[in-house]
């Protein structure tokens, strides 16, 4: 009888837990069948499943309810997911993800065309617009900042900012961020076409110049120093991003670079996804605020795309028609998916058009831009 009373069937939990289990199964379906950002959506969804199972005791939200870790009661009651969540709460996992991203990223297109940095910056428009809208809807400034960062289309950055500013909303913000990243090929093209003409979309751009190895080595060092001096709060993200890139471009630590790109990146991705999924308990996830967050997230993403395209149009005019404004949409930091969307839309108008490498400039600039925007928001509201 004691065994029966200890089962989840006997202690069935509340309706919210079972709704969350249903949502978790839906997200697992989207990750496996529809391939919506499966590398992170699958562990997030399974973490959501584990944390809502009755009597499993794998995650205890009360240990983090005050905004700080309740170390006094941690060792006695903590479950597996509580320990894994410490990597999110203490700000460890997202910078390590950035280390791997840096090791996989070629900043050559950005170095060859520095003007693309402005398009990456313009695509952060969605962050600040969604922040203002969230304030108007009554969210506290720290929560509004966390909602706005969804517009950067950078999941680890959204998780890093939210874990520091509004950990209560980490689950819905992370799910929204990764869902919209997966929907880049669906969300972006209509707005890219709406704000450009057929002639603009058909513009062919000149081949980028060759970037020397010396430039590629100096770039991550210079960016780390410059950005960290201006926005010190962005140093953990930008610093690890540039360290990974320096390991890649220096050519003297191939083993470290390969580890950062593969083994380390994969391990941290698993831990990060499960930990984020663990925060999606029914009592906090199934609220009106969650629907508002998801709605504001898509607004942020759309206006990030529009901001990049509009600056691309301006640069097209100023350059005498030499810049295809479609590459501005790649300023959101969904690498390299957003750049591929620019290539696809441009090639649909002109089959001989090849915009991928040109779009990679704003795309990698968007990674830096979202990290800087995160640092600004952290410095203001942490």
Per-residue pLDDT tens over the stretch 138-170: 999 999 999 999 988 888 999 999 999 999 899
- Residue 29 reports pLDDT greater than 90: yes
Q: Using CB atoms within 10 Å of the CB of residue 316, give its burial: 0 to 12 exposed, 13 to 18 middle, 19+ buried.
A: buried
Q: Do 331 and 119 contact (CB within 8 A), yes or no?
A: yes
Tokens of 22: 């249903």
Residues 6+ apart with CB under 8 A from 61: 279, 281, 283, 284
Where are the strands (E) in the chain, listed by range?
A: none
> Per the omega criterion (within 30 degrees of 0), is the bond before 336 cis?
yes
pLDDT confidence of residue 137: 94
**Does the pTM exceed 0.85?**
yes
C-alpha 98/C-alpha 368 separation (Å) is 10
What proportion of the chain, given as a percentage, has pLDDT over 90? 78
Residue with tokens 């970037």: 211
Range 181-194 burial, b when 16+ CB lie within 10 A, else e? bbbbeebbbebbbe
The SS3 call for residue 355 is: coil
- Residue 13 reports pLDDT greater than 80: no
**Whole-angstrom Cα Rg for the chain:** 21
pLDDT confidence of residue 214: 97
């Amino acid at each position: 009888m004691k065994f029966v009373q200890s089962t989840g069937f006997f202690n069935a939990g509340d309706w919210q837990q079972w709704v969350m289990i249903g949502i978790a199964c839906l997200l697992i379906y989207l990750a496996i069948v529809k391939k919506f950002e499966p590398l992170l959506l699958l562990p997030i969804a399974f973490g959501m499943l584990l944390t809502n199972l009755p009597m499993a005791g794998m995650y205890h939200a009360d240990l983090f309810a005050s905004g700080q870790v309740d170390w006094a009661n941690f060792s006695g009651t903590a479950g597996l997911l509580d320990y894994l969540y410490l990597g999110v709460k203490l700000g460890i996992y997202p910078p390590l993800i950035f280390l791997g991203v840096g090791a996989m990223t070629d900043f050559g297109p950005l170095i060859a065309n520095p003007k693309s940095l402005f398009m990456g910056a313009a695509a952060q428009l969605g962050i600040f617009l969604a922040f203002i809208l969230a304030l108007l809807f009554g969210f506290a400034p720290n929560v509004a900042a966390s909602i706005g960062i969804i517009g950067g289309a950078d999941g680890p950055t959204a998780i890093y900012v939210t874990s520091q500013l509004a950990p209560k909303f980490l689950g819905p913000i992370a799910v929204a961020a990764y869902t919209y990243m997966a929907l880049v090929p669906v969300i972006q093209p209509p707005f890219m076409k709406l704000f450009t003409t057929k002639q603009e979309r058909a513009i062919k751009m000149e081949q980028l110049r060759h970037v020397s190895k010396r430039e590629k080595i100096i770039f991550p060092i210079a960016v780390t120093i410059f950005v960290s001096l201006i926005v010190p709060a962005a140093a953990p993200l930008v610093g690890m991003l540039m360290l990974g890139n320096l390991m890649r471009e220096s050519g003297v630590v191939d083993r470290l670079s390969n580890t950062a790109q593969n083994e380390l990146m994969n391990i941290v991705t698993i831990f990060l996804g499960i930990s984020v999924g663990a925060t999606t308990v029914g009592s906090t996830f199934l609220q009106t605020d969650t629907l508002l967050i998801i709605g504001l997230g898509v607004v942020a993403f759309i206006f990030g795309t529009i901001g990049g395209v509009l600056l691309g149009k301006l640069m097209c005019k100023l350059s005498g028609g030499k810049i295809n404004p479609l590459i501005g949409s790649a300023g959101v930091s969904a690498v390299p998916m957003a750049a591929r969307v620019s290539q696809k839309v441009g090639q649909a108008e002109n089959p001989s058009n090849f915009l991928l490498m040109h779009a990679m400039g704003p795309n990698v600039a968007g990674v830096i831009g979202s990290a800087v925007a995160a640092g600004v928001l952290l410095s203001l509201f942490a």
